[in-house]
Amino acid sequence: MLKIPTTFYNMKYIVGVKMEERYRINDNLVIWNDEDDVWSIIILPELIQIDNWHGYPHIHINKERKKISLNNSYKVFLKVMSHIEYESNVNLNKLLEELR
């Protein structure tokens, strides 16, 4: 289980059936959106997007979609947060390996 550090804060917005949470961890902002069967996770300032739009879970890298194995937004969110906590930033190659 991910131990939540005190280095980030949470802002939660729920509008209708859409849920959006924002977490600041180290120098990154992680935005988690979940709406019915569609979800996305955005990592700023790197502009990395992970989502399951287009019918399958994938990560956007340089206008290219690379498939990932996880299709549960909460599990992907935990992987992203633990990755940033461990690496102190985003290492795109390692993150991709962790999500595959």
Torsion of CA 13, 70, 89, 23, to 10 degrees: 10
Q: Is the model's pLDDT at 14 over the cut of 80? A: no
pLDDT band at 82 (very low <50, low <70, confident <90, very high): very high
Average pLDDT over residues 14-39: 82
Average pLDDT over residues 34-38: 84
pLDDT for 16: 52
Cβ-count burial of 31 within 10 angstroms (0-12 exposed, 13-18 middle, 19+ buried)? middle
pLDDT band at 26 (very low <50, low <70, confident <90, very high): confident
CA–CA dist 74, 34 (Å, integer): 9
Average pLDDT, the chain: 83
CA–CA dist 82, 74 (Å, integer): 12
Taking the whole predicted model, whether its pTM rises above 0.85 is answered as: no
Torsion of CA 30, 58, 63, 78, to 10 degrees: 20
